[in-house]
Amino acid sequence: MSSLAQLDGRHIVLGVTGSIAAYKAASLVRLYKKAGAEVRVLMTKSAEQFIPALTLGTLADHTVHSEIFPEHDSDSWTAHVSLGLWADLFVIAPATAQTVAKLAHGFSDNMLTATALSARCPILVCPAMDLDMYQHPATQANFERLRSFGYEVMPADYGALASGLEGQGRLPEPEAIAARTAARISEVDSEVDSEVNADTSAQSALSREEGDGAPSGTTGPFYGKHVLVTAGPTEEPIDPVRMLTNPSTGTMGFALAEAVAAQGATVTLVSGPTHLDTPSGVTRVDVRTAAAMNEAVQARRNTADVVFMAAAVADYTPAHPSDSKKKKTEGTQTLTLKRTPDILKTLGEHKRDGQVLVGFALETDDARANAQDKRTRKNLDWIVLNKATDPGSGFGTGTNACTLFGPNGYESQIATAPKRDVAVSIVAQVARHTPALQPAPTS
Ligand code: CTP
């Protein structure tokens, strides 16, 4: 389970640094408190230029710290150590380029950075900065370094920035950060559980009965929405021991299912054969062939509000599969293939008002034109383009880089990042540009 209910009774240290987005920390503290968490706030001196410590301290119901050495009579100079031990999760939001750089290089010149060095809990870093600072190789290398320490770096959102420029660099909305906090705590809990009980991972690999999966977030732009995600390859049997398939592992689709569940959706994941564990709170339906995937998807098209069609569906299947093993003969063999149903095209033909369809295109040549053509031809709202020739992209890699094409000429690049981060970014952008999915403002 990874709903905000997961935060009840948990200890969260929130680090706030000097970004214009620091004001969003107030909503974040409220969301944590409302969900029953205990919160301690650490601020850098420059964060106090943007939001008073008194505001965050009042909302957290606890004194805010910024210096390592005692600021209050009741404080000990070892507070950075005790807070690091007390926390279930340390969230840094917003994290400026400066603080990201300090964290990446082990600085401990203020309460926030010293606590990060002492912390035994997982750390979630939510950067906010101008787009060029965000894209700078130094910052990107610092993100990578943080990831190599086991920190999670939540990709910044796209949109208007305080500088007047537009691009990636906005702090994700407090609802999205709170949902990710809860999901991270839930993941840590299950990691601990699986250490205690080795059976857990085997059990989580079992398919869930449909209807068993509850929405995993109780807030977030997808709350109350049914999202259908497809993932993995299909297998098209030639005979009982041979088949046509492709190298898809399902990683991208599973990451999307996880990301959208963390945003409050009720998720059905229709998966081809993979070795992946089902993300928590997600209902999984296993299929083998393109025809079976088509059946599973079309049966749900009337209830799905959003469909992410990430599966690598075979375009052709043997026209005459054999029930018994074909014996080899001398000379060449000819295999007659027939087309499989185009699942996404059928969804496009039956698209309901307000339903959002997201397709994927893996291309080698004329990539942009082909992807845009697919978006139009299949009546899609969004298409995610992967270039099979890009290193760090496509089948069998842990990372991905893509271009997202959306309504009204929307286009954005997602730089090479772990597939999980790319999924979070795709989901955030779809939510931001779909009126029905935008989060209600927090008062
Ligand atoms: N897709 C589908 N059903 C199929 C084949 C593909 O639903 N039988 C979906 C994929 O899941 C993906 C999108 O369609 O979201 C694009 O798939 P792709 O095979 O690249 O596109 P095609 O339209 O089949 O074009 P082509 O193979 O000619 O590139």
Residue 397 belongs to domain with CATH number? 3.40.50.10300
- The reply to whether 138 and 255 lie within a common domain is no
pLDDT, position 192: 61
Say if residue 396's pLDDT is above 50. yes
Residues 277 and 403 reside in one and the same domain: yes
Q: Mean pLDDT over residues 248-274, rounded?
A: 94
Asked if residue 77 belongs to a domain, the reply is yes
Alpha helices in 110-173 (DSSP H): 111-118, 131-135, 137-148
Based on the structure, what is the number of domains in the chain?
A: 2
Residues 372 and 405: their CA atoms lie apart, in Å, by 7
User: Which atom of ligand 1 sits closest to the CA of residue 230?
Assistant: 11
Q: What is the pLDDT averaged over residues 372-383?
A: 97
Q: Name the strand (E) or helix (H) holding 203.
A: helix 199-205
pLDDT value at position 209?
35
What is the structure's pLDDT at 193?
52
Cβ distance 361 to 371 under 8 Å?
A: yes
Of 298, 343, 366, 370, best ligand 1 pocket probe by most atoms within 8 Å of the beta carbon? 343
Point out the domain boundary residue: 191, 221, 251: 191
Q: Are 411 and 405 in contact (CB under 8 A)?
A: yes
Cα 193 to ligand 1 centre (Å)? 39
275 and 377 housed in the same domain: yes
Same domain for 245 and 290, yes or no, is yes
Residue with the two structure tokens 């079992």: 206
Average of per-residue pLDDT values in the chain? 87
Q: How far is the CA of 361 from the centre of ligand 1 (A)?
A: 7
Residues 108, 80 within the same domain: yes
Where are the extended beta strands (E) located within 210-339? 226-231, 236-239, 242-244, 266-271, 282-286, 306-309, 316-318, 337-339
| 330 lies in some domain | no
| pTM, 2 dp | 0.58
Residue-wise pLDDT tens digits, 271-320: 999 999 999 888 999 999 999 999 999 999 999 999 999 999 999 999 99
Where in the sequence is the domain holding 104, given as residue range(s)?
9-191
Pair 121, 161 in one domain? yes
Give domain status of residue 148, yes or no.
yes
Q: Is residue 443 part of a domain?
A: no
What lines the ligand 1 site, CB under 6 Å? Answer: 290, 309, 311, 313, 315, 340, 342-344, 359-362, 374
- The CATH number of the domain holding residue 39 is 3.40.50.1950
Tell me which H or E stretch contains 201. helix 199-205
Q: What is the dihedral of CA 397, 400, 401, 407, to 10 degrees?
A: 140
Mutate which of 246, 344, 357, 402 for ligand 1? The one with the most ligand atoms within 8 Å of its CB, which is 344
Q: Are 68 and 111 in contact (CB under 8 A)?
A: yes
Q: What is the mean pLDDT of residues 160-172?
A: 87
Q: Which of 164-168, 331-335, 381-385 shows the lowest per-residue confidence on average (mean pLDDT)?
A: 164-168
The residue among 156, 191, 226 that closes a domain is: 191
C-alpha to C-alpha distance for 53 and 210, rounded to whole angstroms:
47
Write the pLDDT tens digit of every residue in 58-86. Answer: 999 998 988 776 666 555 556 677 787 88
- CA–CA separation, 32 and 166 (whole Å): 29
Question: Which domain-ending residue is among 191, 224, 251?
Answer: 191
Residue 417 shares a structural domain with residue 369:
yes
For residue 163, is it within any domain? yes
Position 152 scores a pLDDT of 92
Assess if residue 82 is contained within a domain: yes
162 with 235, same domain? no
Same domain, 154 and 30: yes
Is 396 part of a structural domain of the chain?
yes
- Dihedral sign for Cα 265, 394, 276, 417, please: negative
pLDDT at 111 over 50: yes
Q: Which atom of ligand 1 is nearest to the CA of 360?
A: 15
Q: Which of 246, 227, 248 is nearest to 236 (CA)?
A: 246
**Which residue numbers are catalytic?**
246
Evaluate whether residue 322 is within a structural domain: no
| Probe target for ligand 1 pocket from 315, 377, 395, with the most ligand atoms within 8 Å of CB | 315
Q: Is the separation of the CB atoms in 361 and 394 below 8 Å?
A: no
| 342 CA from centroid of ligand 1 (Å) | 7
Q: What whole-number distance in Å separates Cα of residue 279 and Cα of residue 134?
A: 29
CA of 340, closest atom in ligand 1: 8
Same domain, 145 and 223: no
287 and 419 belong to one structural domain? yes
User: Does residue 239 share a domain with residue 166?
Assistant: no
